Amino acid sequence: MYRTWVIARHTFTEAVLQPIFSLMILLGAAVLGIFGALPFFTFGEDTLMFKSVSLDLVLILVLISTLFVTSRSIYEEIEDRTMLTLMSKPVARWEVMVGKYAGIIASAGLALAVLGVIFGLALWFRIPTDYQIRASTINEGEARNLWELRAMHLSGMFPSLVLIWLQISVLAAIGVAISTRFSLVVNLPAVIILYLAGNLTRFLPEVATGFVTTSLLYLSYLLPFLQTFDLKSITVLSPIALTNTQFDGQFNAVSLGFIWTNVGLAALYAVGYATFALSAGLFFFRYRELGGAEG
């Protein structure tokens, strides 16, 4: 366990020091700041649109930086013989896989935390404008209404960020598995294609009538079912029934308990699929020559 921790810590530090990591965070902070100041002209739904667009932006930026790290995590160390030196120590290959993966998803979590704080601040400051409430009001009723709106919107933000992290964790596991055999040139496009395919699998049951589409449906069970992590209908688009607020008891409001139950189910799926992907990667890694060339 200690050896895995050391590898994870080294991988985390290496990922954070990558130029693309800082670049994606700076780009995300700038765009979130701009989005936070701009109106969306949605006739009363500006806050919902801002949340939805911002979450997609955060997902894309963190996913890009994570995939660059996963695509190079094992393959390049094999090619430059660093892995050969590492494996000369009493370290098992599964410890290398798990350590690399843990460090990568930890760096993704850090990026999400930083962008999440910026996202939360932008959301906090734009709500008065979106709902036409004075931010510095001294009216008790108006101030309470503003606080409840802010609390409701922010309460759905954290589970949304957790779902993004879980989705990235699944894709990172695939990237680490592929990196045991292929370089960045193959790995990055492959994971992106799997990401797109994983988002399209939700539509297959509706069109699976012929032999080809039915076969594709069964084949899709091997792909990540990313709809599991798409819970915007309850974390973004629906009001959240916070206790002692105007949303408590509202007919279309959802409870925090219901939201976190679904997040928990998504986490179980993420753990299961990541375990499957890493196990497949370990199988190929076990028979991989570590001298910088295939045997």
Instruction: Let me know if residue 111 belongs to a domain.
Output: yes
pLDDT, tens digit, 9 for 90 and up, residues 233-242: 899 988 898 8
CA distances from 179 to 86, 141, 273 (A): 17, 57, 17
Query: Is 46 inside a domain boundary?
Result: yes
In a domain, 293, yes or no: no
Nearest CA among 77, 107, 93 for reference residue 9? 107
* 294 located within any domain: no
Q: Per residue in 23-75, pLDDT tens? A: 999 999 999 999 988 888 777 788 999 999 999 999 999 999 999 888 878 88
Compute and round to an integer the Cα radius of gyration of the chain: 22
Task: Answer whether residue 156 is part of any domain.
Answer: yes
Closest C-alpha among 92, 82, 74 to residue 291: 82
- List the beta bridge partners of residue 240: 254
Q: How many domains does the chain have?
A: 1
Cα–Cα distance for residue pair 260/54, rounded to 1 Å: 21
Q: Is there a domain that residue 128 lies in?
A: yes
Among the listed residues 126, 148, 107, 144, the one whose alpha carbon sits nearest the alpha carbon of residue 20: 107
Q: How many CA within 13 A on the CB side of residue 106?
A: 17
Report whether 80 contacts 72 (CB < 8 A). Answer: no
Give Cα 78 to chain centroid, integer Å.
27
Contact 96, 288 (CB under 8 A): no
Task: Answer whether residue 265 is part of any domain.
Answer: yes
| Bridge partners, 254 (sequence order) | 240
Average pLDDT, the chain: 86
Token duo for residue 55: 């979450």
Closest by CA to 178, choosing from 272, 67, 18, 27, is: 67
Task: Give the confidence band of 295 by pLDDT, cuts at 50, 70, 90.
Answer: very low
Q: Is the confidence at residue 284, as pLDDT, over 90?
A: no
- Alpha carbon distance 50, 57 (integer Å): 10
Higher pLDDT, 173 or 222: 173
Residue 261: give the domain boundaries.
Answer: 2-286
Nearest-angstrom CA–CA distance, 187 and 180: 10
Q: What is the pTM of this model?
A: 0.89
